[in-house]
Copies of this chain bind each other. A is one copy, B any other.
Amino acid sequence: MDFVIKGNLCYSDRPECLTTLPQGYLVVVGGVYAGAFEQLPECYQTLPQTDCGDRLVMPGFCDLHLHAPQFAYRGLGMDLELIEWLNQRAYPEEAKYSDLAYAGRAYDLFVDAMRKSATTRLCCFATLHAPATLLLMEKLEAAGLRGYAGKVSMDRNAPDDLCEPDAGQAARDCETWLREANRRFHLVKPMVTPRFIPSCSDELMDSLSALAREYGAPLQSHLSENQAEIDWVSELCPKAVNYTDAYDRFGILGPRTVMAHAVYPENEEIALLKKREVTVAHCPASNMNIRSGIAPVRKLLNAGVKVGLGTDVAGGQTLDMLRAVTDAVQASKLYWRLIDQRDRALTLSEAFYMATKGGGAFFGKVGSFESGYEADAIVLDDSALPHPQELTVLERAQRALYLSGDCRIVQKYVAGRSIL
C-alpha cells in the first residue's frame, strides 16, 4: 500500500549533516521512498496519510553485528575479558541451542525485543545448530525484520558440544542449511559465518569460501578484536602477513563481507579492507565491555573503508542502536584524547550516518529518506523528555540519541510495512 508519513523527519544523506524537516512528508510508493518533502507534492495528495504528530521520524537503524543467542545473557559477566568470556559465558549459553525448545523460547524473546527496537536490518550470528538457526530466521522473517542470519561454523578450539567433528562435516552442514534457508526465507537470508580464524581450520575456511561463492551468500566474521586473539591468529596462520591477510588468503573478503571490530588494524590491513570493499562493523560498547580497546574509525573512514555500527549483543549489553550512535561518539572522543589527536573525533551526525545510510548500504538502498530508498523508519516519542525552552527538531533528535532510554519507539516500518 502506498502512503504518506507526516512528522518531524530527521535523517542523514551524507556524514556531515543531520537533515531535519519539521512537519515534513515522507512518501512511500511500493515499499520505497519517493522522497522526503517540506510540502506534499500535488501528485501524492490523494494517498492515505499517517500523522505522527509532534513525534520524531528517523530511518530504520542497521545493526551490522550481533549474536542472537547471547541476548539471553546481555549485561551479565561483564567483568571478564574476551577469551574468558567466550569460555565462561558465550559457549555454555550457545550450547543450549541444540535444544530446539530452549532455542524457541530464547529466540522468541530476542525477536520480540528486536522487533520493538530501532533496528530494521541486521546481520546476526546464531549458533552452530542448523535447526535452531532456521527457527531464528523463521521468527525474524515473521516479525517483518530483514537482513541476514548465520549458522556459525566452528571445527576447532571450541568446546566439544560446539565443535563440528571435522571440516568436511562442517561444510556439508553449512551447505544443507544454506539450501534450506534460501528455499524457505525471502526477507532474512543466510550468511556464511565462520566464527573467527581460531575456531575454523584452513580446510573449513576454504570450503566456506567456496560455498559463499556458489550460493551467492554474504559472509560475516570477527577481525582483530583483541591483542591476544591477534597473536593467536598469527600463530595459527604463519604464512599470513597479518590478520586481514589471513582471511584474504581464503578469498572471503569482498563487497558482501562484514567484519566485526577491526580494533587493531595495521595500515596494510586498512588498505586491504578498502581494496576488497569489506564493510567493518564498529561495535563501541562491546569493545569497552570486553576491554578490547577503541577501533580507529576515523582512520578507516579516511582510507575509504565502509563502516557501519553493530551492538554486538552480548559483548554490547543492549540492542539499542541509538545508544550505539552515542557510544561511537564517546569512544571516538576518547580515541582522540588518549591515542591520536590527528584523528578528530566522530561527530554525532557521522555516527548517525554510520548507523543508518552507511551500514544500510550493505543491504541495498537502505537507511535514508532519499528517493529510491527502501521505506524503513521508526517513529520516536520523546515526550518523556521535558524541557523548559523551545527546541528545534534537530536538537530534539540529538537529545533522543543521547537519551534513547527515555524515548519510546511507537511505530516502525520495514520496506513500507508497519511491524509494530
In contact, B338 and A78 (Cβ under 8 angstroms)? no
Interface residues of A in 67-97 (CB under 8 A from B): 72-79, 96
| A114 touches B (CB below 8 Å) | no
Partner of A75, one of B336, B337, B347, B399: B399
Partner of A334, one of B77, B288, B318: B288
CB distance from A175 to the nearest CB of B (A): 29
| A348 touches B (CB below 8 Å) | yes
| A389 touches B (CB below 8 Å) | yes
Known: A333-B288, A334-B288, A388-B106. A403 touches B76 (CB 8 A): no
In contact, A402 and B333 (Cβ under 8 angstroms)? no
| A59 touches B (CB below 8 Å) | no
Contacts of A76 in B (CB 8 A): 391, 395, 398-399
In contact, A388 and B74 (Cβ under 8 angstroms)? no
Partner of A102, one of B72, B292, B348, B388: B388
CB distance from A345 to the nearest CB of B (A): 7
Contacts of A404 in B (CB 8 A): 405
In contact, A109 and B293 (Cβ under 8 angstroms)? no
| A387 touches B (CB below 8 Å) | yes
Interface size of A in residues (CB-CB distance below 8 Å): 54
Contacts of A303 in B (CB 8 A): none
Report the nearest B residue to A405, measured CB to CB: B405
Contacts of A161 in B (CB 8 A): none
In contact, B72 and A388 (Cβ under 8 angstroms)? yes
Contacts of A403 in B (CB 8 A): 74-75, 317-318
Question: Could you tell me the distance between the alpha carbons of A387 and B96 in the complex, rounded to whole angstroms?
Answer: 14
Contacts of A293 in B (CB 8 A): 334, 337-338
Contacts of A338 in B (CB 8 A): 293-294, 334, 338-339
| A381 touches B (CB below 8 Å) | no
| A289 touches B (CB below 8 Å) | yes
| A401 touches B (CB below 8 Å) | yes
Question: Could you tell me the distance between the alpha carbons of A96 and B398 in the complex, rounded to whole angstroms?
Answer: 22
In contact, B399 and A74 (Cβ under 8 angstroms)? yes
| A329 touches B (CB below 8 Å) | yes
CB distance from A261 to the nearest CB of B (A): 14
Partner of A72, one of B326, B334, B387: B387
| A406 touches B (CB below 8 Å) | yes
Contacts of A337 in B (CB 8 A): 291-293
| A330 touches B (CB below 8 Å) | yes
Known: A72-B388, A109-B386. A402 touches B291 (CB 8 A): no
Question: Could you tell me the distance between the alpha carbons of A339 and B293 in the complex, rounded to whole angstroms?
Answer: 11
In contact, B402 and A405 (Cβ under 8 angstroms)? no
Known pairs A72-B387, A72-B389, A318-B403 / 19 extra A-B pairs, C-beta < 8 Å? A72-B388, A74-B399, A75-B400, A75-B403, A78-B326, A96-B389, A106-B389, A285-B330, A289-B333, A291-B336, A291-B337, A292-B337, A293-B338, A294-B338, A318-B402, A318-B405, A323-B405, A404-B405, A405-B405
Interface residues of A (CB under 8 A from B): 72-79, 96, 102, 105-106, 109, 112-113, 285, 288-289, 291-294, 317-318, 320, 323, 326, 329-331, 333-334, 336-339, 345, 347-348, 386-389, 391, 395, 398-406
What are 17 A-B contacts with C-beta separation under 8 Å?
A73-B387, A76-B391, A76-B395, A106-B389, A109-B387, A288-B330, A288-B331, A289-B330, A289-B333, A291-B336, A293-B338, A317-B326, A318-B403, A323-B405, A334-B338, A404-B405, A405-B405
In the complex, the 5 A-B pairs of residues with the closest C-beta atoms, listed nearest first: A405-B405, A75-B402, A75-B399, A106-B388, A288-B330
